[in-house]
Amino acid sequence: MSKDRARLQRTKSVGFRARPQEYEELAQAAERAGMPMGEWIREVSLRAARQCTDGTGLKTDSLPQLVRIGLEEVAALRAVLLTLFATTHPALTKDEVDQMLAYADSVKRERVDALVARP
């Protein structure tokens, strides 16, 4: 095999788990793009990685400063609430707190979408 071909060959794998609804969203997006799902996910992921400047997946300068400040405040409030809740309920295990946090993460987009869609 030539050195150029070996250099271009994909030898690494990246994967993630998705809920059935998320999987359907990905499949539909790939179909709309006219691409196999794996190719579409690779293209979208690489585009996001190449645009990322601060490790968040977002260009720092792409968010207006006030929106960024608001997001930072929400993140700080979330950390404070989680800390207070965990310390005032000592019977909760770290795993239970982590499960609550994971649940909150799993439904936040759906809830925001519902709020934004309200008339």
Average pLDDT of the segment spanning 104-112: 82
The pLDDT tens digits for 28-74 are: 999 999 999 999 999 988 887 777 655 555 565 555 777 777 888 88
- Distance from the first to the final alpha carbon of the chain: 61
Q: How many domains does the chain have?
A: 2
Residues 109 and 88 in one domain: yes
Is residue 21 within 8 Å of 15, Cβ to Cβ?
Answer: no
- Which tokens hold the place of 44? 């979208």
In a domain, residue 5? The reply is no
Residues 52 and 74 in one domain: no
Is residue 38 within 8 Å of 15, Cβ to Cβ?
Answer: no
Residues 78 and 53 in one domain: no
Residues 86 and 104 in one domain: yes
Question: Over 80: is that where the pLDDT of 93 sits?
Answer: yes
3-state secondary structure of 81: helix
- The residue range of the domain holding 45 is 16-60
Residues 47 and 77 in one domain: no
Residues 79 and 36 in one domain: no
Residues 52 and 90 in one domain: no
- Which tokens hold the place of 30? 């790939």
Q: If you count them, how many residues does the chain have?
A: 119
In a domain, residue 9? The reply is no
